[in-house]
Structure 1
Amino acid sequence: MDITLRPVHGSDLPVFFRQSNDPDALRMAAFTAEDPADRDAFDALWARIRTSPGIVARTVLADGDVVGHAAVHGEPGGREVTYWIDRAYWGRGIATAALRGLLAEVGERPLHARVAADNAASLRVLERCGFEVSARTTAYAPARGAEIGELALTLGG
């Protein structure tokens, strides 16, 4: 499978919106928008993402199909990676390949990531890409409506 990254196009947004409303994916990600079904909030968020010079956002393609997105955002020294892969493509190494591609493009370090403590698959992706657990805490997870365990990870620095 050929995994590539490219800048986000407006035509990707309906796919991202559909992906961000998958109940199983929401539960797994845990730390999501308060109301993922709010299309106006989604569009406003992506308008900010696409126009911010400090955010590197990429569409993830698998054999040419839009399967998710990956990004780096935040202030220097505290920049964070994030990614979302369509549940239909989980377990195929796409998230790892996409994150590796993003990390090759964004050379600054340190970079940070956060993951629900029980999201073993995402934790594996981050660890395969060189991130190490740097803190354990609890935080409110909107997708679960409760405080849950969260891991903070760091790459470099």
Structure 2
Amino acid sequence: MQIALRPVHDSDLPVFYRQTNDPESLRMAAFTPKDPADRDTFDARWKRIRASADVARAILADGDVVGSVAVYGEPGEREVTYWVDRAYWGRGIATAALAALLTEVPERPLYARAADDNAGSLRVLEKCGFRVTARTTGYAHARGAETGEVVLVLAD
């Protein structure tokens, strides 16, 4: 499978919206917007992202849009995030996409966060060189409860 990144196009947004409203994906991600089905909020968020200094990319697998990956936030506090369509989980796509983004965005440190029971996401981050630096809890909208969270950093 050929994995590639490209800038986000308007035509990607309906795909991202569908992907980020999959109930199982939401539960796994845990820390999501309060109402992921609010299309106006979704569109406003992506408009902000695309107009900012954040680096957002569509993930392509054999030419099909299968997710997104991004670096966002203030210098010195920037975080990575990614979302891959559940139909493509377990194929190394998130790892390949994040690795590609990390070569495109050389600044360090970069941070990441994941629910402490999201083994797949933690594995992706560790394969890309992120190391656990803290554990905390926070309210996870997708679960409607306090949830354990792991904080990771990529220093070099």
CA distance in 2 between counterparts of 1:41 and 1:76 reads 25
Q: CA deviation at 1:59?
A: 0.2
Q: CA deviation at 1:68?
A: 0.2
CA distance in 2 between counterparts of 1:75 and 1:41 reads 21
Residue identity in the other structure for 1:87: R
Residue identity in the other structure for 2:72: H
1:116 maps to 2:115: yes
TM-score w.r.t. the length of structure 2 is 0.99
The RMSD of aligned alpha carbons is: 0.6
- List structure 1 segments (4+ residues) > 2 angstroms apart after TM superposition: none
Matches within 5 A, 1:23-102: 23-52=23-52, 54-102=53-101
Residue identity in the other structure for 1:31: F
Residue 3 (structure 2) aligns with: 3
Number of aligned positions between the proteins: 156
CA distance in 2 between counterparts of 1:104 and 1:142 reads 32
CA distance in 1 between counterparts of 2:145 and 2:54 reads 29
Residue identity in the other structure for 1:81: V
1:135 maps to 2:134: yes
Q: CA deviation at 1:8?
A: 0.1
Q: CA deviation at 1:3?
A: 0.2
